[in-house]
């Protein structure tokens, strides 16, 4: 796992054709907005989170974020332990995100 600043995240993501953006926040947090093209798996699901993450392609580059950067750091470390090749944690999380924001459809 590597921690990325907001600027590093945007730069790497823009040049990455093997990227998967993973939002590990709760549904209530997701309802407040997401980074476009992200996929949500709530880390608070515990074993459910592990089961869902294990179904993902471990060869993709995972850009993981949460509200502040703490849960996503834990998720990225866990993913590393599960055999994922490349994980990045967004430092500062969605709270500090100043890029585009999308809103989930109802």
Instruction: Give residue-wise pLDDT tens across range 2-13.
Output: 999 999 999 999
62 included as an active-site residue? no
Tens-digit pLDDT profile for residues 30-71: 999 999 999 999 999 999 999 999 999 999 999 999 999 999
CATH of the domain at 50: 3.40.250.10
Range of the domain at 18: 2-95
Global pTM reads 0.96
Any domain includes 52: yes
Tens-digit pLDDT profile for residues 81-105: 999 999 999 999 999 999 999 997 7
Any domain includes 30: yes
Cβ contact 43:79 at 8 Å: no
Question: Per the residue annotation, which of 21, 22, 66, 75 is the catalytic one?
Answer: 66
Any domain includes 87: yes
Any domain includes 101: no
The total domain count for the chain is: 1
Instruction: Tell me the CA distances in angstroms from 16 to 36, 74, 106, one per residue in order.
Output: 15, 23, 29
Average the pLDDT over each of 14-18, 26-30, 69-73, 100-104 and give the range with the smallest value. 100-104
Q: What is the average pLDDT across 68-79?
A: 97
């Amino acid at each position: 796992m590597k921690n990325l600043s907001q600027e590093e995240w945007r730069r790497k993501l823009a040049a990455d054709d093997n990227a998967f953006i993973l939002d590990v926040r709760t549904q209530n947090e997701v309802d407040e907005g997401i980074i476009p093209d992200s996929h949500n798996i709530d880390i608070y699901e515990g074993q459910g989170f592990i089961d869902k993450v294990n179904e993902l392609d471990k060869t993709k580059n995972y850009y993981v974020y949460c509200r502040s950067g703490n849960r996503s750091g834990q998720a990225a470390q866990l993913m590393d332990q599960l055999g994922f090749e490349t994980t990045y944690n967004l430092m500062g999380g969605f709270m500090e995100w100043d890029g585009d924001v999308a809103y989930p459809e109802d």
